[in-house]
Chains A and B, each alone.
Chain A
Amino acid sequence: MAPVKLYPPRPEKVYLFGTCLIDMFYPEAGLDAIRLLEREGIEVIFPDDQTCCGQPAYTSGYHDEAREVARAQLGLFPDPWPIVVPSGSCGGMMRTHYPQLFAGSVDEALARDVAERVFELTEFLVHVCHLPLEDHGEPETIAMHTSCSARREMGLADTGPALLAKLGQVELVEQVRASECCGFGGTFAVRHPEVSSAMVEDKTQAIEATGAKHFVTSDCGCLMNIAGRFAHQGKDVKGEHIASYLWRRTS
């Protein structure tokens, strides 16, 4: 269980850490996150030298390599603004594991400082921005998959659904075993492909059974996995990052 976090008042500026998956595969989701924040009058600083939080190496056990990658990110947020991350998995890495990675090293204080300023996007929109949303879209039912890192590591099972609930025309339908992992797990999907695909198969079936033609997630790893499975089956269920969905319906 993530410890209770005290939320700051709405800041003038924030940093956005876009994550490598968004950078390479879903850049629109990153841009939509920026648009949502800017619409709230918050200036978004996107440090150009950002790359990856280091998590893939970290969960694979390559901590020396992960630490160097993480170290390269630590210096990108010099001012005391919050750091918004549109991913529970990268957010969890930075908030929980950065302090562990640098424990006992000269960068420990910096790592802690960064960790304390990290917010997952939906968390930030709900608890710091108290984001108002005016839905301009057609009536629609939608499913959501909250990533395991957002749900369990960061304790954010409710923030995604809370945002969707603000969309007047959207009905969120919950799939069976909603809290079960979709089977992505970073390198897990590659090291144990058969188990992973059995998991994503069950997840797509559960989402499909809700009748929703659309699902959102707050993590691009899960999105890539679940949407990739739907596409492979030729099924007409489309996935989207929640930032893009919110922006699309309210802009």
Chain B
Amino acid sequence: MSAAVQTFTPKAFHRQAHDALGNPQIRDNFRRAMDGLMSKRRDVFSDWDLETLRELGANIRLRALAKLPDLLEQLEANCQANGIRVHWAADGDEACRIIRDICESHDARAVIKGKSMVSEEMHLNDHLEQAGIEALESDLGEYLVQLNQQTPSHIIMPAIHLNTDEISEIMHTKTGTERTRDVDYMTAAARQQLRERFMAADVGVSGVNFAVAETGTLCLVENEGNGRMTTTVPPVHIAVTGIEKVVEQLRDVPPLYALLTRSATGQHVTTYFNMISGPRKADEHDGPREVHLVLVDNGRSSIYQDDELLDTLRCIRCGACMNHCPVYTRVGGHTYGTTYPGPIGSILMPHMLGLEETKDLPTASSLCGACGEVCPVKIPIPDLLVRLRKESVGEGRGNVPGAGVKRSGKEVAAWKSFQWLATHPAAWRRSTALAGKLQALMPSSIGPWTDHRTAPKPAKASLHALVKRHRRGEGEA
């Protein structure tokens, strides 16, 4: 329930995983939700040529990334021509300062926010709070998570870790609503609570799904209308996004949008699709008087320098990789202790926090490939996980922060011995034969494996030996 505020860190992945695995509520909430999302996605794509569409999506993103520096300049110029003020932030802190300065220049005390993972990434709410500015989340899931003093457990469905009873309890304690299982009642209550806050907000902060360089248009995909309210009701709108969200042309948007909504929630379209092309014009009656765009780097340009890691930046933040991840499904989003959980988090967060903080994330995958199979822009997630493992053990290019942090003498020695044995066939044959002969002496417990499984027994004779006998015509059944 909404008891003590829990903090999660990537360093404590193992402990957090242990806790989550032992929590039937968490297990059940995630399993159900992920099963539902997987089947919705499967159904909604059933009559589509999905592979062709994914290929197209991947190519659109690759083309945008190939021209990224130029497209960003073009985006800036076209936004400015539309009356959108553009700001550049090297990291999260700078982005926070820019947003705070804009707020302060308007004497803003109340900020209303649409859903934005980049703002989570830079801890914008905390930063504003320290400056005496209250930031309120208006996406229903984000609102609940904020009420409960938590962070999102999923990038699309921030409150997916909570079930109806828990939500009812949170709303009851924090906002005084009745305890109920009536979802419509709770939604209506939240809507009413938020409506008042929209009207009183000085500034609206939103994310961006696609920033179109060709036209200087900011696209925002959402279901609740809170995005539209955030970007139109307050007198100032600040859009904040990672620099990789740019696409070249307007016509790149429909395929990406088609992939995004279907991959994320299994919807053909979302309830709202906003295209923001500037502040209120002289003859217009509504809309913000000022629109700002904050483009955040925060480690992205360093990812961009590496021709393999670059693929990380294709991501359109659909969340399908986490929905299909057997690890995420079992441990939930908070266990990762990072803004972005699941497979995308495990390939992205090491760049933002360093491999020392996040060393257990790239290994927290069986490399089953489910993430890469569903990723709408075909990011080779398993390959990137392996690349980060390689960086962790100091055998990569050394360009990820914290590279080499997991290199230990003991492990290197173990792999070197493996290498020696596997490159000396005669010794290999002797040792496999020996393993069989010494079977009785082998430990019956090999640590973590045997806590939950019976250890396999080495065969009495290896395949090498069996083949020899077979060739001599012996031992045939």
Residues of A within 8 A of B (CB): 1, 18, 20, 22-28, 30-31, 34, 46, 48-52, 54, 56-65, 68-69, 71-72, 148-149, 151-153, 179-181, 183-201, 224-225, 228-229, 231-232, 251
Q: Which of B21, B415, B463 has the most CB of A within 10 A?
A: B463
B18, B447, B452: the one within 8 Å of A201 (CB)? B452
For chain B, residues 171 to 198, give those with C-beta under 8 angstroms from any C-beta of chain A: none
Chain A proximity mask over B427-465: 1 for CB below 8 Å, otherwise 0? 011001001100000000001111111111111011111
A63 touches B390 (CB 8 A): yes
Q: With a CB–CB cut-off of 8 A, which chain B residues contact A191? A: 363
Interface of A is mostly: helix
Q: 3 nearest interchain CB pairs?
A: A185-B366, A193-B448, A61-B389
Q: With a CB–CB cut-off of 8 A, which chain B residues contact A46? A: 463, 467
Cβ-based interface call for B422 (8 A): yes
Chain A residue nearest in CB terms to B51 = A1
| Interface locus among B77-85, B283-291, B368-376 | B368-376
A57 touches B369 (CB 8 A): no
In the assembled complex, the CB of A97 is this many whole angstroms from the nearest CB of chain B, namely 9
User: How far, in angstroms, from A222 to B447 measured CA to CA in the complex?
Assistant: 18
Given contacts A23-B432, A31-B470, A152-B373, contact A61 B393 (CB under 8 A): yes
Chain A residue nearest in CB terms to B383 = A100
User: How far, in angstroms, from A36 to B457 measured CA to CA in the complex?
Assistant: 25
Q: What are 22 contact pairs spanning A and B, CB under 8 A?
A: A23-B463, A25-B456, A31-B463, A34-B470, A57-B418, A60-B415, A61-B386, A61-B389, A62-B395, A65-B416, A72-B422, A72-B425, A152-B368, A188-B365, A191-B363, A193-B449, A194-B14, A197-B451, A199-B327, A201-B452, A228-B455, A232-B452
A59 touches B386 (CB 8 A): yes
B447 touches A24 (CB 8 A): no
Cβ-based interface call for B466 (8 A): yes
User: How far, in angstroms, from A18 to B463 measured CA to CA in the complex?
Assistant: 7
In the assembled complex, the CB of B400 is this many whole angstroms from the nearest CB of chain A, namely 12
Q: Which of B21, B418, B470 has the most CB of A within 10 A?
A: B418
Q: With a CB–CB cut-off of 8 A, which chain B residues contact A224? A: 453, 456
In the assembled complex, the CB of A219 is this many whole angstroms from the nearest CB of chain B, namely 12
A65 touches B418 (CB 8 A): yes
A63, A184, A192, A201: the one within 8 Å of B17 (CB)? A192
A193 touches B451 (CB 8 A): yes
Chain A residue nearest in CB terms to B468 = A48
**Could you list 16 further interchain pairs (A-B, Cβ under 8 angstroms) beyond the known A57-B419, A195-B327?**
A20-B422, A23-B462, A27-B459, A27-B465, A27-B466, A30-B467, A48-B464, A52-B418, A60-B393, A65-B419, A152-B368, A192-B14, A192-B360, A192-B364, A195-B21, A199-B330
B373 touches A62 (CB 8 A): no
In the assembled complex, the CB of B446 is this many whole angstroms from the nearest CB of chain A, namely 9
Q: With a CB–CB cut-off of 8 A, which chain A residues contact B461? A: 27
In the assembled complex, the CB of B193 is this many whole angstroms from the nearest CB of chain A, namely 38
Chain A residue nearest in CB terms to B454 = A231
Given contacts A193-B451, A197-B453, A198-B330, contact A27 B462 (CB under 8 A): yes
A69 touches B419 (CB 8 A): yes
A59 touches B452 (CB 8 A): no
Chain B residue nearest in CB terms to A57 = B415
Chain B residue nearest in CB terms to A55 = B367
Q: With a CB–CB cut-off of 8 A, which chain A residues contact B447? A: 190, 193
User: How far, in angstroms, from A65 to B459 measured CA to CA in the complex?
Assistant: 26
Q: With a CB–CB cut-off of 8 A, which chain B residues contact A199? A: 326-327, 330, 366
B369, B449, B466: the one within 8 Å of A189 (CB)? B449
User: How far, in angstroms, from A48 to B459 measured CA to CA in the complex?
Assistant: 18
A193 touches B452 (CB 8 A): yes
Chain B residue nearest in CB terms to A153 = B369
Q: With a CB–CB cut-off of 8 A, which chain A residues contact B18? A: 194
User: How far, in angstroms, from A31 to B363 measured CA to CA in the complex?
Assistant: 34
A229 touches B453 (CB 8 A): yes
Q: Which of B396, B435, B470 has the most CB of A within 10 A?
A: B470
A1, A25, A57: the one within 8 Å of B457 (CB)? A25
Given contacts A194-B17, A201-B452, A231-B454, contact A30 B466 (CB under 8 A): yes
Cβ-based interface call for B391 (8 A): yes
Cβ-based interface call for B199 (8 A): no
Given contacts A60-B393, A63-B395, A225-B453, contact A24 B421 (CB under 8 A): no
User: How far, in angstroms, from A199 to B477 measured CA to CA in the complex?
Assistant: 37
B365, B392, B466: the one within 8 Å of A31 (CB)? B466
For chain B, residues 382 to 402, give those with C-beta under 8 angstroms from any C-beta of chain A: 386, 388-393, 395-396
B14, B326, B365, B425: the one within 8 Å of A51 (CB)? B425
User: How far, in angstroms, from A63 to B450 measured CA to CA in the complex?
Assistant: 28
B370 touches A200 (CB 8 A): no
Chain A residue nearest in CB terms to B419 = A65
User: How far, in angstroms, from A100 to B470 measured CA to CA in the complex?
Assistant: 36
In the assembled complex, the CB of B477 is this many whole angstroms from the nearest CB of chain A, namely 7
Q: With a CB–CB cut-off of 8 A, which chain A residues contact B105? A: none
User: How far, in angstroms, from A56 to B56 measured CA to CA in the complex?
Assistant: 34
A24, A50, A71, A189: the one within 8 Å of B458 (CB)? A24
Chain A residue nearest in CB terms to B423 = A72
In the assembled complex, the CB of A75 is this many whole angstroms from the nearest CB of chain B, namely 11
Q: With a CB–CB cut-off of 8 A, which chain B residues contact A31? A: 463, 466-467, 470
